[in-house]
Amino acid sequence: MIFASDLDRTLIYSKKFIENICREEIVLVERMDEKEISYMTKKAFDHLSKLKDKLLFVPVTTRTIKQYKRIFMLNEVISPKYAVVSNGGNILIDGKVDEEWRSIIQSKLKECAPIDEIRNEFDKVKGHWVLRGYDADNLFLYNIVDEENVHKETLDIFNKWLDKMNWNMSLQGRKLYFVPNCINKWSPIEYIKNMEKKNTVFASGDSLLDMPILNMANYSIAPTHGEIYKTYDKIDTIEFTDESGILCAEEIIKKVELKIGEF
């Protein structure tokens, strides 16, 4: 069995999500230059530590390799054998890039418009609400935006153009992603599943970029605060949490634990 889970806003949460949580109930999981970045509740972290001994836990994230490696409690304590990063563009095996998978992705990228073309086209239409832009491992693009002033009409038009270029878009809070269709979170999980000869996949995630794994998994669960819930409200194949915010992680992990006995 595999538990393939998104990280940010699914298992780990930024400072704004811990405002109403007692400090003694949380654990720091990520820091950058001595600055505290992300947290889990202690209960969620303890449950995940035990769960990874019962199945193959695979973090699946849009984070770049460098961003993922900042999550020291995952890398040093949970220490998963596999991690899917760059939204599926890279697989880490014991912390090192799987070159075979990288070669597969580079071949698939030929089916999509070049990253420079996407960047240049967006530069023509973006407004002051786009604060900064980044290249993620030279595989996809993301922008930091002013949430309150995002120009939805511009994004709708640009998204239709992206579709013709074989790319897709996801807006997650302050982050706006542009990703080639050939880079997704399910394909690397299927690759790992075949390597490890696993038959069952449990999945969790909050954003539309997580839909490929949630659609293909044997059991899927998503937080009620996420982009998926806000977009669809109800999907028969996906269970939504009762909790929202950082407490979602505990609920997700407990429900996956319960599902182990059903498969």
- Do both 119 and 51 map to the same domain? no
- Do both 147 and 80 map to the same domain? no
Residue 22's pLDDT band, with cuts at 50, 70 and 90, is: confident
Choose the final residue of a domain: 132, 151, 180. 180
- Do both 17 and 59 map to the same domain? yes
- Do both 14 and 88 map to the same domain? yes
Indicate which CATH number applies to the domain containing 95. 3.40.50.1000
- Do both 141 and 193 map to the same domain? no
- On the question of pLDDT at 169 being above 80, the answer is yes
- On the question of pLDDT at 250 being above 90, the answer is yes
- Do both 77 and 126 map to the same domain? no
- Do both 167 and 227 map to the same domain? no
Which domain does 80 fall in, by range?
A: 2-107+184-260
Choose the final residue of a domain: 180, 195, 216. 180
Express as a percent the part of the chain with pLDDT over 90: 87
Express as a percent the part of the chain with pLDDT over 70: 100
**Residue 103 confidence (pLDDT):** 97
Q: Domain total for the chain?
A: 2
What is the SS3 assignment for the chain? CEEEECCECCCEEEHHHCCCCCHHHEEEEEEECCEEEEEEEHHHHHHHHHHCCCCEEEEECCCCHHHHHCCHHHHHHHCCCEEEEHHHCEEEECCEECHHHHHHHHHHHHHCCCHHHHHHHHHHHCCCCEEEEEEECCCEEEEEECHHHCCHHHHHHHHHHHHHCCEEEEEECCEEEEEECCCCCHHHHHHHHHHHCCCCEEEECCCHHHHHHHHHCCEEEECCCCHHHHHHCCCCCCEECCCCHHHHHHHHHHHHHHHHCCC
pTM: 0.91
Mean pLDDT of 109-137: 96
Residue 9's pLDDT band, with cuts at 50, 70 and 90, is: very high
- On the question of pLDDT at 23 being above 90, the answer is no
Q: pLDDT by residue (tens digit) across 32-68? A: 998 999 999 999 999 999 999 999 999 999 999 999 9
Choose the final residue of a domain: 139, 161, 180. 180
- Do both 159 and 204 map to the same domain? no
- Do both 32 and 66 map to the same domain? yes
Residue 221's pLDDT band, with cuts at 50, 70 and 90, is: very high
